């Protein structure tokens, strides 16, 4: 049958829906034959941020086993980059994070981690995948497997990024500093997803705008004059100064930020002293600061320094002994989904999976993500970050009826249902890449 010239001009070789029609059974077969065992191995063998040597080696091995992929290890530390080229076309970056958390797993899963590892801080601790990164990296392998099998349906380049140290929000920046966008093809689009225990399996959250807040870790060192607890008048008590700082910090959000602009200043640690009757000469505060735009972020960070130093002055400390405020390397901007790209991806998901798969729940916290570094405006790379539901609906129903609550991320009880999470994550990411790299038929 000869196509009309008009039809030939607009005909696509393969739409995402057409290409994805056999995707679910193929991913199911991949899971049964390879991905299921892989996610089990990752869950049993978690590693801390910047220490993911075994995980990175396993990912490099798995990706090298897929035809047509060039793999580079030790990018930005333990990061892995795998490039798959398939003719002329755009470049899409697919990112998955791989680090675990310093927690002793109490999930009750048969494959619960028993790993103990010494982190970069020199402290030995139990380690678990308490945020689902084992799902992310397994799905990345699954996506690579499907794209190789479906090379007739797309044209272009895919850059698979296995990123370290997301939990310390530093791995993305280190990979960029090590030449991610210069040593390897610079992407036209960047994609990532996060499995979520807060959403039911079989659902996707793919909304435009802000997906994650900025995050800054701040350390405050408070200098004082130590002495005997029975003679406080002879001292400058850093504990009292620390308490004054903690309370004054609460006014930053309540009195300096507009009521409709979210912000968080949390003091997560307060360390001082060694004995009941000794007034220390030093105290140390550790803070996490969250916001949804750069203006609020600057106001909070500037305010923290102002409050801390002026509390020192108020207590009579000399200028060279005022509290020291230091911004940690654990810092990341706001993660924002590009509006046009998100609209396109939502349409692709709807075509492939139906309208019911997409949910738009409200944000319930100010979590952060260093994926933001890959899509900063000055880099010119639009980004799309979506969520995959990880908890069976029955668990939510049971919790609502008075049963055990569904554990959240970063909890020793955290768990997601691995198979539906890996499978939908793989299917959705494959659909997204196919849509962005779909070839256009030549005009007859």
How many residues belong to the chain?
444
Angstrom distance (rounded) from CA 84 to CA 423: 21
Q: What residues contact 365, with CB distance under 8 A and at least 6 apart?
A: none
Q: Is 427 a catalytic residue?
A: no
Catalytic residue among 30, 52, 134, 166: 166
Burial (Cβ within 10 Å: 0-12, 13-18, ≥19) of residue 379: middle
Q: Which residues of 363-374 are buried (b: 16+ CB within 10 A; e: fewer)?
A: eeebbbbbbbbb
Angstrom distance (rounded) from CA 426 to CA 221: 46
CB 48 within 8 A of CB 102: yes
Angstrom distance (rounded) from CA 14 to CA 252: 54
Angstrom distance (rounded) from CA 147 to CA 431: 10
- Could you tell me the two tokens for 421? 């999470």
Q: Which of 366, 333, 364 shows the shortest CA–CA distance to 265? A: 366
Q: Are strands 156-163 and 79-86 parallel, antiparallel or unpaired?
A: antiparallel
Q: In the 8-state DSSP scheme, what is residue 36? A: H
Angstrom distance (rounded) from CA 76 to CA 407: 32
Give long-range contacts, CB 8 A cutoff, 24+ apart: 2-10.
2/444, 3/444, 5/443, 5/444, 8/441, 8/443, 8/444, 9/443
CB 374 within 8 A of CB 176: yes
Q: Is 99 a catalytic residue?
A: yes
Please give the full DSSP string across 322-385, using - where no structure is assigned. Answer: SPEEEEEEEEE--EEE-HHHHHHHHHHHHHHH-GGGEE-PPP-S--B-GGGGGG-GGGT--EEE
* Residues involved in catalysis: 99, 166
């Amino acid at each position: 049958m000869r196509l009309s010239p008009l039809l030939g001009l607009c005909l696509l070789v393969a739409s995402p829906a057409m290409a994805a029609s056999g995707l679910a059974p193929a991913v199911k077969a991949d899971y049964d034959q390879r991905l299921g065992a892989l996610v089990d191995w990752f869950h049993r063998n978690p590693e801390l941020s910047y220490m993911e040597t075994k995980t990175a080696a396993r990912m490099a091995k798995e990706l090298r086993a897929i035809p047509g992929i060039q793999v580079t290890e030790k990018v930005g530390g333990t990061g892995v980059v795998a490039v798959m080229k398939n003719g002329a076309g755009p470049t899409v970056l697919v990112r998955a994070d791989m680090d675990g958390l310093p927690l002793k797993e109490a999930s009750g899963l048969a494959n619960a981690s028993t790993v103990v590892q010494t982190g970069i801080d020199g402290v030995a601790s139990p380690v678990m995948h308490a945020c689902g990164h084992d799902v992310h990296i397994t799905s990345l392998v699954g996506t690579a497997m499907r794209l190789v099998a479906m090379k007739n349906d797309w044209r272009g380049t895919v850059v698979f990024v296995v990123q370290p140290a997301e939990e310390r929000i530093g791995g993305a920046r280190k990979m960029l500093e090590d030449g991610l966008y210069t040593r390897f093809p610079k992407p036209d689009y960047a994609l990532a997803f996060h499995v979520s225990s807060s959403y039911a399996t079989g659902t996707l959250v793919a909304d435009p705008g802000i997906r994650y807040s900025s995050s800054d870790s701040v350390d405050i060192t408070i200098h004082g004059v130590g002495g005997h607890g029975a003679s406080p008048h002879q001292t400058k008590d850093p504990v009292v100064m620390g308490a004054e700082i903690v309370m004054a910090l609460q006014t930053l959000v309540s009195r300096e930020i507009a009521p409709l602009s979210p912000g968080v200043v949390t003091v997560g640690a307060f360390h001082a002293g060694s004995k009941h009757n000794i007034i220390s000469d030093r105290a140390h505060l550790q803070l996490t600061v969250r916001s949804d735009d750069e203006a609020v972020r600057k106001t909070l960070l500037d305010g923290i320094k102002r409050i801390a130093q002026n509390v020192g002055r108020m207590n009579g400390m000399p200028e060279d002994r005022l509290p020291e405020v230091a911004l940690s390397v654990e810092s990341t901007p706001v993660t924002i989904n590009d509006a046009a790209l998100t609209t396109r991806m939502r349409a692709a998901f709807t075509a492939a999976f139906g309208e019911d798969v997409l949910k738009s729940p409200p944000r319930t916290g100010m979590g952060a993500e260093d994926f933001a570094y890959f899509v900063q405006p000055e880099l010119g790379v639009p980004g799309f970050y979506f969520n995959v539901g990880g908890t069976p609906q029955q668990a939510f129903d049971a919790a609502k009826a008075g049963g055990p609550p569904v554990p959240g991320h970063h909890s020793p009880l955290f768990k997601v249902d691995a198979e539906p999470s890996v499978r939908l994550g793989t299917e959705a990411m494959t659909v997204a890449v196919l849509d962005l790299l779909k070839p256009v038929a030549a005009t007859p």
